[in-house]
Amino acid sequence: MSTSLNRREFIGSTLATATTATAGSLVFGFATSATAQGMAPEVNAWVVVQPDEKVIIRIARSEMGQGTLTGLAQMVAEELECDWARVTTEYPTPGQNLARKRVWGNYSTGGSRGIRESQEYVRKGGAAARMMLVQAAADGWKVPASECSAVAGVITHGATGRRTTYGQMASAAARLQPPTEVPLKDPKDWKLVGKRMARLDTVDKTTGKQVYGADLQLPGMLNASIRACPVFGGTVRSFDAAKVTGMPGVKKVVKVGDNAVAVVADTWWRAHQAVTALPIDWDLGPNAGVQQAAFNATLKGGLDAEQAAVGNSHGDVKQALAGAARKIEAVYAYPHQNHATMEPMNATAKWTPERCEVWTPTQNGEAALAAAAEAAGLPPAQCEVYKIHLGGGFGRRGAVHDWVRQAVAIAKQMPGTPIKLLWSREEDMTHGLYHPITQCKLTAGLDAQGNVTALHMRISGQSILAGLFPQNVRDGKDPVVFQGLNNGGGEAMIGYSVPALLVDHAMRNPHVPPGFWRGVNLNQNAVYLECFIDEIAHATRKDPLALRRELMKNHPKHLAVLNAVDPN
C-alpha cells in the first residue's frame, strides 16, 4: 500500500483485508527506520531501545483483555534476547503503517488471529533487531559478528570478554542495513515463549492507571451523547433544539447522518441529560411494526425451503433418509445477541479542513482509519487514529466503526475542538451489530441396529457476510455460516463421520444488522450438533460418550480432546 492511494481505494482495500489474513503476503520491510524519518530512534519497526536500556516493542494488534499484547511482546523479546524486566510496549498508528507501506502488516484483531497469524513475522522482527545490535557491536570492536553473543540485552565478545549493551548500540544498529535472512530459534531453546509471564498491562489495570477511551481527556475537549432512531432503517424527521440549548453546559445540538441527533456539552452527563430531554420526531420507516414472531416465521420457512447453499456434503442423504429404519428429528434456535462490552462505544475526534485525528478503542486500527477518512472527507494520509486499550471487543469493534463515523461527523460541525462521543448503555444495547439469528433442523437416519446412516443439518437464518461484506458471498453461500461443520480446515472441521451427510444453509436476513460475535457461528453450530448427538444417544439408548467415540473414530484430534476430558 502506498501513500498515493486515494480515500476510496484505501477504504476498499482496508475493508477487503478486515477479514482476510495478510501474514503470508507481508513485506518484511525493516529498511525504513524512524531515525531516517526524524522520529525517535529505532532499531527496526518493531524494536526501540533507549539509552537507559528500556526496550519498547511495537504491537500492531489490539489488547482487549485477551493477553495478545503480552503474548506478542514475548515473541519479539524471545528472539531479541533482551531483558524482559525492561520491556514495555506501544501501538504504532495505522497512519504510520500506511506511510511505511504496511510494515506492521494487518492490524485486525479477532478470531484468535492476533498471535496465530503474526507470530512468525513479529519473531523475525525481534531476531532481525538482535542481529543488527550484535553487528553494530562487532563493527565497533572490528571482530566478526559470529564471535559475539547477546543475552538479556548485553552483547559479549567471546574471545576477549568485551561487553556492551543494547542501549549503547541502538543508534549504530539503526544505521545498518537490515539482514535479508533472519533465522529463528528452535522452539526447544525458548526461554519466554510458552512460559507463564506476568502480563504487561495487569498493574495499570488493577491500579486504575490504564486509560480507556471513556477516560481520555484532551485540552479544550467537549463531550457528546447521541440518540439514533430506535428502529433500524428509520430516520430523523425533525428535532427541537431550542428545548435543550438552555440546559446547563450545553454547547450545541447537531444532526448526525440521517438517523441520529447528538448534544455537545461541557460534561458527558450534561450532554446525556440534554439529548434524553430533546424532542425528536422519528420516521420509524418500514421496519417499525416488525416483531420477533415475524423473524421466527421467516426462519422456520427456511428449514424446509427447496433452495439452500451447500456447505458440506457426501453420499446421498435424501436416499439414505428415505430408506432408514428410523428417523430422528429436532429443531433448535439461536437468538440475536448483543456484544455488551463493558465499555460502550466511544471515540474522540478532532477535525479541521486539513486534518482529522481520532482516539478510540478498536480491534482494527486500519478499519478505524478508513472510517475516519471517509467521514472526514479527507485523504487517509491527512488522518490519524490513535488506538487505546479496549474495555471489551468481542468483534463489535472490528469490521464496522459506526461510532467513529459519528464522532467525526460531530467534530466536523465544531472544527478544531476535540469531541468525545460516548454512547450510553441504552444506545449501545439497541444499536449493536448482533450475533446472527438462526434456526437449525437436524434429521438423522438410523439402520435397524441403531447406527447413524445419514445426517441432514439445515441451517436457516442470517448471514454476517451478506450484511457486512456482500462481495464475499458467492452463489448465495456465506462460508462463515458453516464454521465447525466443514470437511476440513482445523477448527472449522466437523468431528463426526456418517455414511451420508448434508449441511446446508437457507439464507434469511432480517433487518437487524449482524456482526462478528466472539466465536461467531461456531457457537450455535456446536450447540445444535452436540444437542442432537445427545438426542440420538437417548433415542437409541446408547451412552452419549460411547456414541461420540464411535462417530469420531476417523477424527483423531477431536477424539483426543474427548478422551482428555473423559479418559475412562
At position 280, the amino acid (one-letter code) is I
Cβ-count burial of 245 within 10 angstroms (0-12 exposed, 13-18 middle, 19+ buried)? middle
Cα–Cα distance, 150 to 173 (Å, whole number): 14
Mention every residue, 6+ apart, whose C-beta is less than 8 A from residue 314. 487, 500, 501
pLDDT reported for residue 396 = 96
DSSP 486: B
Cα–Cα distance, 390 to 213 (Å, whole number): 7
Q: Which residue numbers in the chain have pLDDT < 50?
A: 1-5, 7-8, 11, 15-38, 40
Cα–Cα distance, 3 to 247 (Å, whole number): 45
3-state SS assignment for residue 360:
strand
CA dist list (Å): 337 to 208, 216, 394, 516: 30, 29, 12, 11
Cell of 409: 461527523
pLDDT reported for residue 35 = 41
Cell of 445: 437416519
Instruction: Characterise 493 by phi-psi region: left (phi > 0), alpha (psi -120 to 50), beta (else).
Output: beta
Residue closest to 93 by CA, chosen among 83, 82, 107: 107
Cell of 233: 432503517
- Is the pTM value of this prediction over 0.75? yes
Query: What are the two backbone dihedrals, phi and then psi, of residue 280, each rounded to the nearest 5 degrees?
Result: -125, 130
Give, for 442, the enclosing helix (H) or strand (E): strand 438-446
Cell of 468: 457486512
CA dist list (Å): 81 to 136, 172, 192, 197: 15, 18, 10, 16
At position 402, the amino acid (one-letter code) is D
Give, for 99, the enclosing helix (H) or strand (E): helix 94-99
Instruction: Characterise 425 by phi-psi region: left (phi > 0), alpha (psi -120 to 50), beta (else).
Output: alpha
